[in-house]
Amino acid sequence: MTSRGNKFVCALMVAVLTTIVLPCFAQQHYGVMFYNVENLFDTINDTAVADEDMLPKADRAWTVERFHQKLSNVARVIAELSDEDVFPAVVALAEVENRKVLEDLVAQPQISSANYSICHFDSPDERGIDVAMLYRADMFSVEGCRAIRANVESAPNLQTRDFLLVWGVMGGEKILFCVVHLPSRIGGVRQTEHLRIGCAEQIREIVDSIAMADADRRIVIMGDMNDNPSDKSIRKVLGAKPVSQLEQVAASGALYNLTSLSRGGSSVYDGRWNRFDNIIVSAYLLSSSDGLRVVMPKRGTKGYYVQRLNYLLDDNGQPKPTYRGSDYIGGVSDHLPIKFLLERQ
């Protein structure tokens, strides 16, 4: 185990041993979603990052009006993914510029009553995009959160998004969320594969560390992995199996990919639908007979996992982006949101 992994285990154990666990039993169902919101930038120039494309005088003409429209659009999606008028307990996001845009988002009238708290850290990504998590403190009692810097041996100068770890108690169960946005395929799939594999190795190490230190803690890994479930980084390195292969007695640290329950992809890359947006859970969230567990869809259920809301699609039935190149399209994102439900037995 690396020193980075050891430090995380120590931090987690301190939090577990010193935090007073607050029971959260009032809610039976907990919505969890992830959404790559495609360049949720403000209109202020940050000289520390390459945000020049998303400024009022850039070719894209990213204006205050367009920024506010995007905030409203994203808030609408979150609100419409409520269950029985209950806002999602956890909203994980990718491609947000900074904490301020998140503060502006949670203040939107469509979702302001959810009183979302924010977990966010600035990452070393050259474009200035980060991952983040919004959570409802009345449904998820957070014990701690931290960012883990991506550390790939074959690319020591890699500047990419951090992994965001948020842990606490939901439905009376200890749970940890890991939000990721792995390196893109720009430059070629094979040429960049080692970057995603290196990140997956690090995430797998984190999972194994948690399993050793706190075997009862449930784990959810979600994000834009820029790989499909069948690709090496997810299938082999993370070891995330299809839910259909769930073992009756699964080993501690065993992972399963909820993407296997989905019909169709969540984004289009190089003219093809892909399943780059993944939600991977530990076995306890699927096999537990009591406590917190994944709500499995009934046969024939539509809209499970990938959320194909009509206004998120263009005339070709693909995600309608905010921009195509420098052309303003006015859509919400070039990805579709993904979602699942947890329930307390």
Which residues sit opposite 256 in a β-bridge? 241, 281
In the chain, the number of structural domains is: 1
More confident residue, 5 or 233: 233
Give CA 143 to chain center in angstroms. Answer: 19
Q: What whole-number distance in Å separates Cα of residue 264 and Cα of residue 127?
A: 29
Overall size of the chain counted in residues: 345
pLDDT in tens, 240-277: 999 888 876 566 679 999 987 777 899 998 789 999 99
Q: Which residues contact 170 (CB under 8 A, 6 or more apart)?
A: 24, 30, 89, 139, 140, 141, 292, 342
CB atoms near residue 181 (< 10 Å): 30
For residue 18, the model assigns a pLDDT of: 42
More confident residue, 261 or 11: 261
pLDDT in tens, 227-250: 999 999 999 999 999 988 887 656
Name the pTM for this structure. 0.92
Diameter of the chain by CA atoms? 58
Q: What whole-number distance in Å separates Cα of residue 319 and Cα of residue 243?
A: 26
Per the CB < 8 A criterion, the answer to whether 312 and 332 are in contact is: yes
Q: Give the residue-averaged pLDDT of 293-301.
A: 74
Residue span of the structural domain in which 141 resides: 3-344
Q: Which residues contact 49 (CB under 8 A, 6 or more apart)?
A: 97, 125, 126, 127, 128
At residue 244, the 3 state secondary structure works out as helix
CA angle 135, 12, 225 (to 5 degrees): 60
Average pLDDT, rounded, for the chain: 90
For residue 16, the model assigns a pLDDT of: 46
Q: Is residue 38 within a helix (H) or strand (E), and if so which, with residue range?
A: strand 29-40
pLDDT in tens, 52-111: 999 999 999 999 999 999 999 999 999 999 988 899 999 999 999 999 999 999 999 999
pLDDT in tens, 210-231: 989 998 899 999 999 999 999 9
CATH number of the structural domain spanning residue 309: 3.60.10.10
For residue 263, the model assigns a pLDDT of: 74
Q: Is residue 7 within a helix (H) or strand (E), and if so which, with residue range?
A: helix 3-18
For residue 327, the model assigns a pLDDT of: 96
Q: Which pair of tokens denotes residue 238?
A: 């993370």
Q: Give the residue-averaged pLDDT of 136-151.
A: 96
For residue 262, the model assigns a pLDDT of: 78
Which residues sit opposite 273 in a β-bridge? 268
Q: Which pair of tokens denotes residue 256?
A: 């399963």
For residue 13, the model assigns a pLDDT of: 46
For residue 3, the model assigns a pLDDT of: 52
For residue 143, the model assigns a pLDDT of: 96
